[in-house]
Amino acid sequence: MENTAQPSPLRITPTVRALSSALRGKRDHVSDCGRANAVRLFPEPDKLWFKESSAKNLRNRDFLSPTTMLNTLFADGQVPPVIMSRVLSLRGCGVLPVAGGEVMGEGLRVRVDRAAAFRAVLMGGATEYLKPFSERQGCVVVNCPALHPKPNLPTPETLTLGQLRTVLLADHMGALLTRQGFSVSFCPKLPEDSDIITFLQTLGVDWPTAPASWTNEEREEKIQEVLENSVYRERDGGRGRRTSGGGGGGRKVEEGEDEGAVRVNLKRVFQEEGLLGYDPSLGTCTVQRDSVSHLAQLDLATTDCTVSMATALHVTSCQDEFRQQQIAMLWRATGATHTQRHLVCGPVKTPGCQLTAAQYLQLRRGQMKEASEMKYGDQVEGQTWDDIIRVMTSATVRFELLSTVHTSPVTLDVQREGGVSTKGPRGGVFVMYNCARLHTLLFNSLMECENGLISLLDQSGQALDCEGGGARVNIKTEQICKFLVSLSKDFSSYYNRVHVLGEPLPHLFNQMFCRLYLLRALRELYHSALETLNLPPIRQL
């Protein structure tokens, strides 16, 4: 009976694993140093090989096992013929085909059969390569403290650029986690038709809403009652006790002050429950109304989880980190046992002026419109161009705020004379322009294979790693933006040096079909990555 099983997608990880297994071979091949040195002689598999990424090195190798590693594994660093044969005849599920290899001064280098690899990727369809390595399960609540009332609902005019960065990062993380198979919900719910919702929609952020008349008072009352009866509540005289209140610094509570207020010892919470990574100066916190509202929203967001234990990912700014740790411990004091992680963003700096989120978006939109009019003239009018400018502005803002490692500060050039260019590798505009160029080319047909496609396809998608006991979590959230800019540079360079629509001669048809398949794969790759940023592709520009 014919085997109809589909071949597994080619991946970097299984290839490195197979190469490592082939190189390690049997222990009879190692230098005669005794079995006591087995651990030293057999290092971790992922340390045996490097995947090349630079254009210069990719000309003669795709993988390299350095000379230092060969000296550890073999006598005088000489790779036995049987081991070499095993490396060159590499086969396996998801393993890239090997074209050849040799030992040089830098080590054992291996070249991938790129023609066979490209054929497998392009003819088999790029869709499989855009799927995560494994489907994750679980429920994640992405909480954005910047959007909670304090006590008033935030508006575009009160939202800071640092807070806007956390909102966009929360939106990005939600899309990434959804792609990985998690069930994702967002917190808090915001009143529909409110100014902040309209503002977020302009940026392509689809945040959950509730009717303007909706309240969460019943849940708030229950949480208030739970805190009043919490074992962590301090019931004895409050005079002389240090409280962290709602801010970052502690102070002594004077006799008679705030009689009847609920104070919870947050330090006891994380110490007695063995929670790591929390600020030891949290101390005693006086429960405020906006804190109870925050907790009620978190409680509501977790009610729809299909599993008993959810993970709450608090995406907050460094300025608000202390306050969010207070909220996290207050939630724990109510009996909530969900895993909590804190994704902390660095500040956003605008030398020379101070802008709110609304002013910043208005500035970038004006600059984008002006740049488009300079490039396309009178064509820039009507609803179609309004939509294009809106998406391009959103892309500019997202790439400016998300392309930097989330823990590092972002410095924005907001001088009006600086403008926004539609040319050159400038983040969002550059990416969207090349995405539109791909659509135009696909409509007209064509394109050729480019080195490095396999590596690029293998990088899409990030997953939340909830392992480890610390409160903070660091995720490479900037990789999608950097990947898209890098891909756009490669595609732009290729486009400028290759005649995309070649002469319509019969002997060039195969080349044209090859280019067309690659073009389709690149389009799917662009769309997949842009989805994680909630950016719709521009189809014509």
Say which residue, 495 or 78, is predicted with more confidence. Answer: 78
Placement of tokens 């521009």 in the chain: 538
What is the reported pLDDT for 513? 64
Mean pLDDT for the chain overall: 79
Say which residue, 161 or 379, is predicted with more confidence. Answer: 161
| Count of positions (residues) in the chain | 541
pLDDT, tens digit, for every residue of 112-125? Answer: 988 788 777 766 66
Placement of tokens 């696909």 in the chain: 442
CB contact at 8 A, 306 and 139: yes
Handedness of CA 224, 228, 233, 236 (dihedral sign): positive
- What is the C-alpha separation between 117 and 128, in angstroms, rounded? 14
- Bridge-based pairing state of the strands 242-243 and 251-252: antiparallel
Number of other residues whose CB lies within 10 A of the CB of residue 280: 8
pLDDT over 50 at 450, yes or no: no
pLDDT over 70 at 469, yes or no: no
CB contact at 8 A, 196 and 159: yes
DSSP-assigned states of every residue in 215-280: --HHHHHHHHHHHHT-TTB--S--TT-EE-TTSSS-EEPPTTTTTT--EEEHHHHHHHTT--S--T
User: Exposure string (b/e) for 18-28, b if CB count within 10 Å is 16 or more?
Assistant: bbbebbbbeee
428 CB contacts (<8 Å, ≥6 apart)? 392, 394, 395, 396, 397, 398, 399, 400, 535
Phi/psi of residue 113, nearest 5 degrees? -75, 90
Q: What does the radius of gyration of the chain's CA atoms come to, in whole angstroms?
A: 28
Q: Is the peptide bond before 132 cis (omega within 30 degrees of 0)?
A: no
Placement of tokens 């096992």 in the chain: 65
Rounded mean pLDDT of 254-280?
82
94 CB contacts (<8 Å, ≥6 apart)? 8, 9, 10, 11, 13, 14, 15
Q: At 33, is the pLDDT very low, low, confident or very high (cuts 50, 70, 90)? A: very low
Work out the percent of the chain whose per-residue pLDDT is above 90. 38
Closest CA to 198 of 232, 154, 162: 154
pLDDT over 70 at 441, yes or no: no
pLDDT over 60 at 443, yes or no: no
DSSP-assigned states of every residue in 442-504: HHH------TTHHHHHTT--------SS-SB----TTHHHHHHHHHHHHHHHHHHHS-SS---
CB contact at 8 A, 184 and 313: no
Strands lying side by side in the sheet with 50-51: 50-51, 63-66, 107-112, 98-104
What is the reported pLDDT for 28? 40
The whole model's pTM is what? Answer: 0.74
**DSSP H or E stretch at residue 303:** helix 289-303
Work out the percent of the chain whose per-residue pLDDT is above 70. 72
Rounded mean pLDDT of 233-248?
59
Most confident of 46-50, 103-107, 469-473: 103-107
3-state secondary structure of 13: helix
| Summary count for the chain: helices (H), strands (E) | 17, 16
CB contact at 8 A, 342 and 324: yes
- Looking at the DSSP assignment, which residues form a beta bridge with residue 263? 286
pLDDT over 80 at 308, yes or no: no
Q: Which amino acid, residue 365?
A: R
pLDDT, tens digit, for every residue of 351-405? Answer: 988 999 999 999 999 888 888 888 888 888 888 888 888 988 888 899 899 989 9
What is the reported pLDDT for 247? 44
Q: How far is the CA of 229 from the CAs of 194, 234, 264, 306, 477, in angstroms? A: 36, 10, 10, 29, 40
